[in-house]
């Protein structure tokens, strides 16, 4: 049986390097961490595992096995248990429960590393960004976003330093479809609705509902096109915003992975898929076989239909829309790439030229 319960601050402070976190950051981590339970004889992890999890033993006894032989053990509450269990990847040993049961913590290693780095390099605490005790939640949620694990720590520090806090009332329009993009937003509190107006629906089609820690507004900043959707406050709330120039310098450029056509074809040959983010009419005219067509403004809505185990190469006519789509996928933990130059650098370019001449 593997049960879980809310973890207390004193439990986290018993471990290194968690004991070095500032109080506000430790409270934010506690709200995202659970105390887990595992019975005798069960494996906590296997020898050779590469899963990026950090394990701390709270109580009970764990024994380590290498090649099937017991090579050591550790008991919760001892000095040896203050540190993560077998942190080197791939794991050089397995960990098996030797007592009736154990209590342990399991943390995402990348998220923990980013949080510790931010804690040690930031010049102010999370509380400085919010008046409420729950202010750290939005930052912790954002740091759990796998895209932020790829951003250099120095950039993350600059991101939080340059963000501006703005408040909105329910019903306020934060960004409007058709306008020029100016800011990237992260929700601190409240909820927002994302909608898109179409010729057949002037009221707007609801594309998504966003909450604390989620972000929006990046598409037009990356693609250079006008806003493709409207975002409205569903409740009173607060947002952190980052200017277009700061976003592109600190988040966009370090995150996107551009590939040339030969590299893209190799990714596809190894099991990847083309993700064509052009409009259906563009897609119907010319596209790669077995490619998936998800227009850029529908990417957020269709994320559940995509397989996170498959690498995606985003493609459009010139690389602008596809770079925005790849950023969104990376934010959600997908392995994504952008075809440099878009369809213009492939054999499909002739079809585009023919269309332009028509």
Mean pLDDT of 298-307: 89
pTM here? 0.58
Q: What is the C-alpha separation between 263 and 52, in angstroms, rounded?
A: 27
Number of residues assigned to the chain: 358
267 and 289 co-located in one domain: yes
Residue 116 lies in a domain: no
Q: What is the CATH number for 332?
A: 3.40.250.10
Mean pLDDT in the chain? Answer: 85
pLDDT tens digit sequence for 226-283: 898 999 999 999 999 999 999 888 887 777 889 999 999 999 999 999 999 998 888 9
317 token code pair: 């006519």
Band of residue 99 on the pLDDT scale cut at 50, 70, 90: very high
Helix axes 23-31, 109-121, angle to 10 degrees: 160
Residue 324 has pLDDT above 60, yes or no: yes
66 and 51 co-located in one domain: yes
Residue 287 lies in a domain: yes
Residue 281 lies in a domain: yes
Q: Could you tell me if 228 and 177 are in contact, meaning their C-beta atoms sit under 8 angstroms apart?
A: yes
Judged by average pLDDT, the poorest of 14-23, 194-203, 256-265 is: 194-203
Expressed in angstroms, the distance from the first to the final Cα of the chain is: 66
Q: How far is CA 104 from the centre of its chain?
A: 25
CB proximity list for 245: less than 8 A, separation 6 or greater: none
Q: What is the C-alpha separation between 212 and 238, in angstroms, rounded?
A: 9
The pLDDT assigned to 133 comes to 38
User: CA torsion 137→187→162→340, rounded to 10°?
Assistant: 110
91 and 146 co-located in one domain: no
2 token code pair: 């593997």
pLDDT tens digit sequence for 209-225: 999 888 899 888 888 88
Of the candidates 210, 345, 214, 329, the one whose C-alpha atom is nearest the C-alpha of residue 277 is: 329
Residue 39 has pLDDT above 70, yes or no: yes
79 and 17 co-located in one domain: yes
150 token code pair: 């790829």
31 and 104 co-located in one domain: yes
What's the total number of domains in the chain?
3
Domain boundary among 48, 80, 108: 108
Tell me if residue 23 falls in helix, strand or coil.
Answer: helix
Band of residue 47 on the pLDDT scale cut at 50, 70, 90: very high
17 and 88 co-located in one domain: yes
Q: What is the C-alpha separation between 69 and 33, in angstroms, rounded?
A: 32
Q: Could you tell me if 40 and 2 are in contact, meaning their C-beta atoms sit under 8 angstroms apart?
A: no
Domain boundary among 252, 270, 289: 252
Q: What is the CATH number for 138?
A: 2.60.120.10
CB proximity list for 349: less than 8 A, separation 6 or greater: 343
Residue 219 lies in a domain: yes
Domain that holds residue 171: 122-252
Residue 115 lies in a domain: no
Residue 203 has pLDDT above 90, yes or no: no
Q: Could you tell me if 237 and 167 are in contact, meaning their C-beta atoms sit under 8 angstroms apart?
A: yes
102 and 130 co-located in one domain: no
Residue 331 lies in a domain: yes
What is the secondary structure of 204-246 as a DSSP string?
EEEEEEE-TT-EE-HHHHHH-SPP-SEEEESSSEEEEEEEHHH
181 and 237 co-located in one domain: yes
Q: What is the C-alpha separation between 210 and 272, in angstroms, rounded?
A: 29
Residue 114 lies in a domain: no
6 token code pair: 């809310």
pLDDT tens digit sequence for 49-81: 999 899 999 999 999 999 999 999 999 999 999
Mean pLDDT of 11-37: 86
131 and 241 co-located in one domain: yes
Neighbours of 4 (CB within 10 A): 13
Between residues 330 and 152, the one the model is more confident about? 330
Residue 113 lies in a domain: no
What is the secondary structure of 42-103 as a DSSP string?
-EEE-TT----EEEEEEESEEEEEETTEEEEEEETTSSGGGS-SS-SSS-SSEEEE-SSEEE
Band of residue 121 on the pLDDT scale cut at 50, 70, 90: low
146 and 82 co-located in one domain: no
Band of residue 4 on the pLDDT scale cut at 50, 70, 90: low
CA geometry: angle at 15 spanning 12 and 19, to 5°?
A: 70
The pLDDT assigned to 288 comes to 92
Q: Is the backbone peptide bond immediately before 153 cis, with ω within 30 degrees of 0?
A: no
Helix axes 136-144, 23-31, angle to 10 degrees: 60
Domain boundary among 64, 83, 108: 108
As a whole-number percent, the residues of the chain with pLDDT over 70 amount to: 86
Antiparallel, parallel or unpaired: β 192-198 and 230-233 = antiparallel
The pLDDT assigned to 147 comes to 65
Q: What is the C-alpha separation between 357 and 168, in angstroms, rounded?
A: 48
The pLDDT assigned to 146 comes to 64
319 and 242 co-located in one domain: no
242 and 262 co-located in one domain: no
The pLDDT assigned to 232 comes to 96
Band of residue 131 on the pLDDT scale cut at 50, 70, 90: very low
């Amino acid at each position: 049986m593997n049960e879980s319960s809310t973890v207390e601050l004193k439990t986290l402070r018993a471990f290194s390097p968690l004991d070095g976190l500032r109080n506000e950051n430790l409270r934010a981590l506690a709200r995202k961490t659970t105390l887990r339970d595992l019975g005798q004889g069960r494996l906590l992890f296997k020898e050779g595992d590469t899963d990026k999890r950090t394990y701390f033993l709270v109580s009970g006894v764990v024994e380590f096995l290498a090649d099937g032989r017991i090579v050591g053990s550790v008991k919760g509450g001892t000095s040896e248990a203050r540190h993560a269990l077998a942190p080197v990847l791939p794991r050089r040993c397995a960990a098996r429960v030797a007592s009736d049961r154990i209590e342990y913590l399991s943390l995402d290693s990348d998220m923990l590393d980013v949080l510790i780095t931010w804690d040690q390099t930031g010049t102010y605490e999370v509380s400085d960004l919010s008046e409420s005790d729950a202010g750290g939640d939005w930052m912790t949620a954002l740091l759990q976003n796998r895209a932020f694990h790829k951003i250099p720590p120095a950039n993350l520090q600059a991101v939080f330093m340059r963000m501006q806090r703005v408040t909105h009332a329910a019903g306020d329009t934060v960004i409007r479809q058709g306008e020029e993009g100016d800011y990237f937003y992260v929700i601190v509190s409240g909820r927002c609705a994302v909608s898109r107006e179409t010729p057949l629906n002037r009221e707007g089609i609801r594309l998504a509902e966003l909450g604390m820690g989620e972000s929006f507004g990046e598409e037009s900043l990356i693609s250079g096109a006008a806003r493709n959707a409207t975002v409205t406050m569903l409740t009173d709330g607060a947002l952190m915003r980052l200017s277009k120039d700061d976003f592109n310098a600190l988040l966009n450029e370090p995150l996107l992975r551009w590939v040339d056509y030969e590299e893209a074809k190799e990714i596809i040959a190894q099991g990847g898929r083309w993700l064509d983010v052009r409009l259906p009419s563009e897609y119907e005219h010319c596209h790669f076989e077995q490619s998936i067509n998800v227009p850029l403004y529908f990417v957020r809505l269709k994320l559940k239909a995509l397989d996170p185990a498959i690498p995606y190469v985003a493609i459009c006519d010139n690389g602008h829309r596809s770079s925005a789509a790849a950023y969104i996928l990376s934010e959600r933990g997908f392995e994504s790439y952008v075809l440099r130059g878009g369809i213009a650098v492939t054999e499909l370019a002739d079809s585009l030229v023919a269309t332009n001449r028509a």
